[in-house]
Amino acid sequence: MNAPAQFDATSRAWTCFDVTIEDHVAHIRLKRPEAMNTMVRPFWNELPAIVNEINAKALARCIVISSTGKHFCAGMDLAVFQGGGSTSDPASEDRHVNAEAMRFHVKLLQDAFSCLDEARMPVIAAIQGGCVGGAVDMTSACDIRYCTSDAFFVIQEINIGMTADVGTFPRLCKLIPEGWVRELAYTGRRLPAQRAKEIGLVNEVFDTHEAVVEHALATAREIASKAPLAVTGSKVMINYARDHSIKDALDYIAVWQTAMFSGPHMAEAFKAKAEKRDANFPDLAPLRGEM
């Protein structure tokens, strides 16, 4: 499936991203290498807009997020904390009223990455060089992470006098041992690529940027060849199991199968294998955005 005309995001002049869709795979690339792909203000609106459109219109079966230049992303642009319209600007002269409004603003920033976790299709991150601050929040919301041998991860917030608040702790504590989360959070040290693989943050380490992106896209195409309903069901169940007890997760998968177990999709998988051809599965249905 080449980039469809109805996907407006592929033709928009995004500030921070390039977007292409091919072979059922959406490729979102950060495109500001001269600024180390920092998260300027437009970033926080553009990323969820792109991902939510792909998700709602079922325009791809897998998403890959990669970057350009020496570093994947240096995290939040410091200008976001300064000047008019910054995250620290008071919404009211009353300190307590301002705090309540600030809570909702932080939740808005969190949603920019939660869309990756909540998307119906898997999201793969291909990381090179520095993955710093907010970039750790972003990539921890992805389903799969690959990186280059020169990659490193930093919970940068502690180094600028704040507590990470956009998803680092809730997600990292599910991905790697808690002791590592605490060490990285308290010290602001770099976690190098090989150690990141050893503790399970990334699945594989590659020698070059080109190699990691190529592998991420190849994995995405392999995922896209599977039945989309089965893939999204797997993501839903993995996320549910992460957030619930074993008993609750077992009950939920039973309910899911009762409603969405697809004999025809299984029959097509078996037939395609017997006939030594690619299986032909239906895409997920677009979501209804209004009544």
Q: pTM of this prediction?
A: 0.93
How large is the C-alpha radius of gyration of the chain? 20
8 Å CB contact between 272 and 283: no
Cα 188 to Cα 182: distance, rounded to the nearest angstrom? 10
Distance between alpha carbon 137 and the CA centroid of its chain, in Å? 9
Task: Note the pLDDT of residue 285.
Answer: 97
For 147, the 3-state DSSP assignment is: strand
Q: Where are the alpha helices (DSSP H) in 119-227?
A: 134-140, 168-175, 178-187, 193-198, 209-224
* Confidence grade of residue 211 (pLDDT, cut at 50, 70, 90): very high
8 Å CB contact between 68 and 128: no
For 71, phi then psi, to 5°, come to -120, 145
Q: Could you report the per-residue pLDDT of 121-166, keeping only the tens digit for each? A: 999 999 999 999 999 999 999 999 999 999 999 999 999 999 999 9
Mean pLDDT over 46-55 rounds to: 97
Q: Could you report the per-residue pLDDT of 240-285, keeping only the tens digit for each? A: 999 999 999 999 999 999 999 999 999 999 999 999 999 999 999 9
Q: Say yes or no to pLDDT of 91 above 80.
A: no
Q: Could you report the per-residue pLDDT of 2-35, keeping only the tens digit for each? A: 444 345 666 678 999 999 999 999 999 999 999 9
Mean pLDDT over 194-207 rounds to: 98
Cα 180 to Cα 54: distance, rounded to the nearest angstrom? 34
DSSP state of 89: S
